[in-house]
Amino acid sequence: MILQSRTLCVAAASVGLFAARNVWADSGIDSSVTDIEQVPIEALINTPTTVASTKATRLRESPGVLTVLTKLDLERLGVRDLTDVLHMVPGFEMGTDVSGGIGAAFRGVWAHEGKVLLLWDGFEFNELLYFTLFFGNHFPMADIERIEIIRGPGSAVYGGAAELAVINVVTTSGAQRHSIGAYGSFGTTKKEIARTTGGLTYGQGFKGALEGLELTADIYGGKSLRSGRRYTDVYGTSYQMKDGAELDPLMVSLGAHYAGLEVRAMFDGFHTRTQDGYDAVPEQPYDIDFPSWYVSTKYQLQLGENLTITPKIDAKRQIPWRSLGENTPAYLNWVATRLRGSVVASWDVLPELNLLAGTEAFVDDVQEGKEGVAETLLKANKNDYGDGDSFKNVAVYGQGMLRSEYGNATLGARAEKHSAYGTSFVPRFVYTKVFDRFHFKALASGAFKAPAVQNIVASPDVNPERARVFEAEFGAQITDSAYITMNGYDVTIDNPIIYVYSCPDPDAACIDTFVNYEKTGSRGVELEAVYQLGSVHAGASYSFYTSKDKNSVDIYQVPGNDSVNIGFPAHKVTGNVTVDVTEKLASTVSMVYRSKRYGETSVDEDGNPTFKALSPTLLVNANVHYTDLLGIAGLSGRVGVYNLLSSRYKVPQGYWGDHAPLPAEPFELLVDLTYRFGL
């Protein structure tokens, strides 16, 4: 896979969130290790972890598939945001959507609206109206301890926004940082400034009378361009993106931990400005904001050596896709809130048997914002849903893990009931076996994607979509320096919820609707290899999918080609090589190759979409990272070149939506500086 790959196998039905801060410390790897060559491959793949089910399990036999990148990996790769991270992960792709939005696809399936869940220190970042995630210079990469990407369904524990995958970001604790720091980045294309971002960070673990207390605080902000290239819509109208494609992040977070009690708060003030509409380019740029507030409190209660109970209360308030200007193609100003309580228990009944049980309940509420003048849509559905603006959900889930000389078996399930769309039930079974330097896994999982609030409001008859996912993995440590994994999968999604933007009345505003289609899905393979010896670290991956006989959603289909879904390449290859030139200096070259993709590029005289095959692309990045720069302890710097070959890379829409492919970032030269003062 990618740098030192650390492609670790971890359960998609994990409850690692409440144990996340201690995982790396419990894993047997010294958290002070800063050079991966000090940790051989054999130690990494056999390290015990509690992320999967709070029961320490060796990585090769844990029930699922997870790609893990540590802080060191991110520094060496020189990733600027989560988009750069996902480019390097097998199965993940990016597609464009309305208003210049960039969302994720996974294994060839458009996943923008709630099929992939993003967790940031336990906070669910998918917005409540549509469950979407807006990528592009949105999230800070500083002080991330690790990113765990579950390449498989997570519904059994995480619920209805984790149908296909989970991205779990864990930042460093106060004791790990024990410093005050500042960082900044400046990037430029050949013609204009691409980004200016920066932040302040604080973390401290106390001793003496305050032994056990840890505090963290972060602030991150800046400005950037989606691209400086020219975008042309399907009707032939164009605009220069440097004048209307802004991505401006602002994130503030606070955290405190003491004796099992953890309190966190976060504000995300992501702002965008675009001149890209639903389909046509409007006359002037307009603003879209995503203000969100998060807060959580949890307590890990240890009852004896074998039982842990963790209650948690969390809340979030969001105004996603807020657009109030006169020039906006879609007026939006809905305030969405979620209040949730949960309890998770983990019990080692026997040394070979661990039982996990959890329950959660939440209430979603949506109201029109104070600045709004439009009629509240939810009130129009008052007769259907009683409260009219409130939806309730109750869930229970469990998992049992049995270890034996014949292999390990994990059985889990989740059941929930929602006030609008009824009940959902998803089972999960995994068998794993490790023998000498080899391992084998077989996984069968149910999953579902719950309708989001606006799905229900716009289309009250919409039902949850259901997924059946089968996976098999084989891994081998070929030598002391090389490790490979190979996995195959089959994903079938029944009754997928599909977004349809329609204009039935030419004299009225166009409307959003959501329809359950028959099925979609994919099948394919993913291969990864990693090599590390001395100062050289290298990784590579290959991923392939086909939608043949899996997809009946017409707006996902490429006319005349039923083997791929529109927008996403059948083949992706990644590679990277890092050389530790000295103890302080490291140089990395990475690449991503994508085979041809298909995108809607125009409409004919009758308004029907026309499609074009987009040429294969090769993106090459290179960066040099230096620690203790100029002999100053705590000062590090990076110089990176992105899209080194100036590839004319475009991001197509993941369905027939009359949106032309969006030009991606051109060549960029970036300089990054970080300084940390130890406390």
Residues 321-362: tens digit of each pLDDT:
998 877 787 777 889 999 999 999 999 999 899 999 999 999
Q: What is the mean pLDDT of residues 530-557?
A: 93
DSSP bridge pairs for 246:
225, 273
Considering only 285-294, 337-346, 361-370, 483-492, which range has the smallest mean pLDDT?
361-370
- pLDDT over 70 at 55, yes or no: no
Q: Which of 62, 234, 163, 174 is nearest to 602 (CA)?
A: 234
**What's the average model confidence in pLDDT over 534-545?**
94
Q: Residue 196: what are its φ and ψ, rounded to 5°?
A: -135, 110
pLDDT of residue 193: 94
In this predicted structure, what is the pLDDT of residue 541? 96
Conformation bin of residue 342: beta by default, left when phi > 0, alpha when psi is -120 to 50 = beta
Counted domains in the chain: 1
Per-residue pLDDT at 328: 80
Q: What is the mean pLDDT of the chain?
A: 86
CATH number at residue 470: 2.40.170.20
- What are 112-123's pLDDT values in tens digits? 989 999 999 999
Give strand pairing partners of 545: 524
Using one digit for the tens of pLDDT, what is the confidence trace for 208-217? 889 999 999 9
Please check the confidence at residue 599 and state whether its pLDDT lies above 50. yes
pLDDT at 447 over 70: yes
**Residue 548 is assigned to a structural domain of this protein:** yes
Report the C-alpha gap between 465 and 557 in whole angstroms. Answer: 19
Range of the domain at 431: 7-678
- Is 490 among the domain residues? yes
Q: Which residues contact 560 (CB under 8 A, 6 or more apart)?
A: none
* More confident call, 375 vs 331: 331
Least confidently predicted of 50-54, 275-279, 363-367, 392-396: 50-54
Listed range (2-11, 185-194, 322-331, 530-539) with the worst mean pLDDT: 2-11
pLDDT band at 638 (very low <50, low <70, confident <90, very high): very high
pLDDT score at 1? 40
In a domain, 1, yes or no: no
412 phi and psi angles, rounded to 5 deg: -145, 165
Q: pLDDT at position 72, please?
A: 85
Q: Which two tokens stand for residue 674?
A: 């970080």
Task: Kindly state the average pLDDT of the residues 600-619.
Answer: 91
Query: Given the DSSP bridges, would you call strands 165-171 and 116-120 parallel, antiparallel or unpaired?
Result: parallel
Decide which of 423 and 16 is more confident.
423
Helices then strands, each counted (H, E), the chain: 9, 45
Residue 45 has pLDDT above 80, yes or no: no
Residue 278 has pLDDT above 90, yes or no: no
Residue 379: pLDDT band with limits 50, 70, 90 = very low
The closest alpha carbon to 34, from 176, 134, 153, belongs to 176
- What is the mean predicted confidence (pLDDT) over 497-522? 80
148: left (phi > 0), else alpha (psi -120 to 50), else beta?
beta
Q: What is d(CA 224, CA 665) in angstroms, rounded to the nearest whole number?
A: 11
* 371 to 6, 323, 368: CA distances (angstroms): 48, 11, 8
The rounded distance, in Å, linking the Cα atoms of 153 and 163 is 5
Structure tokens at 595: 């085979």
pLDDT at 27 over 50: no
Place of tokens 């060191």: 72
Residues 6+ apart with CB under 8 A from 509: none
What is the predicted pLDDT for the residue at 41?
60
- pLDDT greater than 70 at residue 24: no
What pLDDT, on a 0 to 100 scale, did the predictor assign at position 51?
Answer: 43
CA–CA–CA angle 294, 295, 299 (5° rounding): 145
**Residue 432 counted as domain residue:** yes
Q: How far, CA to CA in Å, does 657 sit from each of 68, 106, 366, 522, 567? A: 34, 19, 27, 21, 11
Instruction: Give dist(CA 479, CA 261) in Å, integer.
Output: 44
Q: What is the pLDDT of residue 507?
A: 64
pLDDT (0 to 100) of residue 331: 74
629 lies in a domain? yes
Taking Cα atoms as reference points, which of 464, 553, 493 lies closest to residue 517? 553
Helix ranges (DSSP H) in 356-442:
377-380, 382-385
**pLDDT digits over 409-440, tens only?**
999 999 999 999 999 999 999 999 998 889 99
pLDDT of residue 58: 67
Q: Residue 518: which pLDDT band, with cuts at 50, 70 and 90?
A: very high
Q: Categorize the per-residue pLDDT at 9 as very low, low, confident or very high, splitting at 50, 70 and 90.
A: very low
Share of the chain above pLDDT 70, in %: 87
What CA–CA distance (Å, rounded) separates 657 from 611? Answer: 12
Q: What is the dihedral of CA 450, 452, 457, 458, to 10 degrees?
A: -90
Burial of residue 259 (number of CB atoms within 10 Å: 0-12, 13-18, 19+) = exposed
pLDDT digits over 195-252, tens only? 999 999 999 999 988 999 999 999 999 999 999 899 999 999 999 998 889 999 999 9
Q: Is residue 2 part of a domain?
A: no
Q: How far apart are CA 379 and CA 391, in angstroms?
A: 13
Q: Is residue 235 part of a domain?
A: yes
pLDDT class of 371 with cuts at 50, 70, 90: low
- As a whole-number percent, the residues of the chain with pLDDT over 90 amount to 68
pLDDT of 613: 93
pLDDT tier at 532 (50, 70, 90 boundaries)? confident
Q: How does DSSP classify residue 660?
A: P
